[in-house]
Amino acid sequence: MSNLWKVKADNFINEKESIMRTGNMFQISNGYMGYRGTLDEFGSEQLVGITLAGIFDQVGDAWREPINAPNGAYTKLVVDGISVSALKTEIISHTQQISLSNALFERDTLFAVNNKQVQVKSKRFLSAETPNLMVVEYSFSTNVDAEISVNTGIDYNVWDLNGPHLVDIEANKSNNMLTVIAKTHELGKKLAVAELIDYAEGDEQHLISNNLNLRLISIKAKAGNTYTFYKYVAVVKQGDPFKGSKKNAAIELVSVALQKGFSSNFEAHNAQWAKKWEKCDVKIEGDDEAQLALRYSIFQLLMVAPVKGSANSIPARALSGQVYKGAIFWDTEMFMFPFFVYTYPEVAIELLKYRINTLDGARRKAASEGIGYRGAFYAWESQETGDDACTYFNIGDPHTGRDLRTHFRDKQIHISGDVAVAMWEYFKLTTDDSLLRNGGAEVILECARFYYSYAYYKKDKDRYELLDVIGPDEYHERVNNNIFTNKIASETFRVALDAVNYLKENFASDLDALLAKIEIANEIPLFQEAFEKLYLPQPDKETGVIEQFDAYYKLEDATVEDVKSRVIHPNEYLGAGQGVAVQTQVIKQADAIMMLNLFKEHYSHEVKKANWEFYEPRTEHGSSLSACAYALVAADIGKSEWAYKYFLKTAKLDLEAKYKVYVGTIFMGGSHPAANGGAWMATIFGFAGVKAYSNKVSINPKLYDKWKSLSFNLSYKGDNFAIKITPDETTVQSLGSNIASHKFVLGEKEFVCDPGRKIETKY
């Protein structure tokens, strides 16, 4: 792979599923909106999607999901009266690519049209400088003279999974400006798209037809000449920080962009991307396959990082479409948040502010689920208010067409602990207590309150238990004492007590105000008791294996191959009530292994090894979250080849676009930012052996044999470090902007790294 900053396809496959997967692979995003990797002339049937962050809509009883905006980048050529499209026109050659350095999408297609050759090239980017802005450069040429009509404008035939979400649509043209305004179906939230174009020649007419607001630009094209125009498109939605109407705001944005021109907008965009990569790039020497896969994974995370000040989070399918309802899952805190808190803390804080802002939704869920609980039970599928978008019947049975009852919504209680632990981790690794004092501690205490209200005290054993839950392994529902769930709940009680102690020592008045606000002072001693007495399944004294949940060993010890051989329909779900995996020990994804990674310092090498070897052959990896956990623990216990295998599996998931498209009858196509985060974790926490504590950073490398070196940056307590690991040594460079000294443990040697200093250890 000669170019490790580009992903490229050299052909076009005119099949619906291929177009869908390519659209995922070549998507671009800027945190405000995502644009799927589709061609300029494509429409809703080819799954063109401009998915917007933080705005949702529901139609009837269908699933509530994010909004896709009208496509202001739509462009189609008509050559001598013949419409040109990759779907119908003969293609001589075609390439499309994205540049990882700056999220630039490019296509180059040579068409054959009535014995003429027509070449179409385009570039587009979603501005990293101005998040509401999209910029397109489009050019064409012919090998002989031709009559060309450029049909370009705003396509408001919007692709929706459960729509239509836009109503009261108005399309217009005024003073060379095309606009489309609309409202959302459910809440009447306003949306506007504006488009301006810059071109040198041609006669323009205007047409509104078939939900297309178009310019028809006629050009007598001369052979060999290249004709280029630039499009500036703005999307503005309700809630964006603009005064006045959404339409006027969009018009102003594109007017300013047109005045600046393509080059100036592109330079500003590139400058922002250069800053991102300066903090976040990871360099692997000696393995181009791993380098490209990892860089693509990091690129996906950087693209979808929420806009500063938005307090948005990252959906489970990023901004690649409406799959999973655009909802925020535990994926964000457990698989994406670590990347940002170690490299880009200003984004990590946005993710946590989202949880603070949706705390009331978590409280409402706790009060309404089951017998009614106290505290904060965070939504399994969280949207803008924090209320749960997850339905009780949410996986279709392909045999009957009926929806299956699952308990993802009401029994996956580990989500609250995932949030609480991430909230404390941010404080621990940054020492920034502003978040803790402005809602973070409240979130942590309310999550601890929820677990205490949910826990069952078993008097004869003098212990608390967590009954009727689902762990990360979703093939086994309504189990008791799942090890991951119990461990994360225990940790929640601990961080709640730590947060109280920190505030008591440093901000006593803030603590008093918080305890009074949520009337929780009398419950703090109960959290201490629960922390001491919550049951945590222990490793078996002979085997070292931790039983994933009560009575797990009583299930059929079938192999993954055995279970899959029982499947009748290729899309059937293996879990829920009667799935073929339910009565077996085959699990969907890393569960006990995920726990052992999260709390690796709590368990011995022998215990981690025993559990990895027990659970690995029993794991079906039916989730994109699974492979990285096995990579992480494999690296930790010295199974280097296995670690590398699972690292590549997670890092190449979106790059190769090999994943399930349907679960049951539910469409699941889209990108996988949790797997992208998992690839980074497997590299930095696994092969580099990084572990940051409140008082030190430990680096204990398990470098893969093929790698000559591994280089990356790390943020810790407001300072930044450049780290390089080779088979012979590890070096840590304190960067020039640093102001404090920090303790590092490299292998078994302890150092103090002062500002500007470089430390190293040889092996």
* Residues classed as catalytic: 474
Q: Tokens standing for 257?
A: 């962009």
C-alpha 591: how far from chain center: 20
DSSP, collapsed to helix, strand or coil, labels residue 675 as: helix
Q: How many Å apart are CA 139 and CA 120, to the nearest integer?
A: 6
Contact 441, 524 (CB under 8 A): no
Q: How many Å apart are CA 412 and CA 379, to the nearest integer?
A: 9
Q: Tokens standing for 194?
A: 């504006």
- Bridge pairing between strands 90-99 and 212-221: unpaired
CB neighbour list of residue 508: distance below 8 Å, 6 or more residues apart: none
Half-sphere exposure of 270 (CA within 13 A, CB side): 9
Contact 673, 648 (CB under 8 A): no
Q: How many Å apart are CA 508 and CA 429, to the nearest integer?
A: 22
Q: Tokens standing for 588?
A: 């969907």
Q: Tokens standing for 46?
A: 């080819």
- Give the DSSP H or E segment for 539: none
Type of residue found at 347: V
- Bridge pairing between strands 133-142 and 662-663: unpaired
Contact 230, 135 (CB under 8 A): yes
- Bridge pairing between strands 742-746 and 697-699: parallel
Half-sphere exposure of 236 (CA within 13 A, CB side): 23
Rounded alpha-carbon distances, angstroms, from residue 704 to 645, 708, 728: 11, 9, 13
DSSP, collapsed to helix, strand or coil, labels residue 105 as: strand
3-state secondary structure 59-89: CCCCCCEEEECCEEEEEEEEECCEEECCCCC
Q: What angle do CA 48, 49, 54 make, to 5 degrees?
A: 180
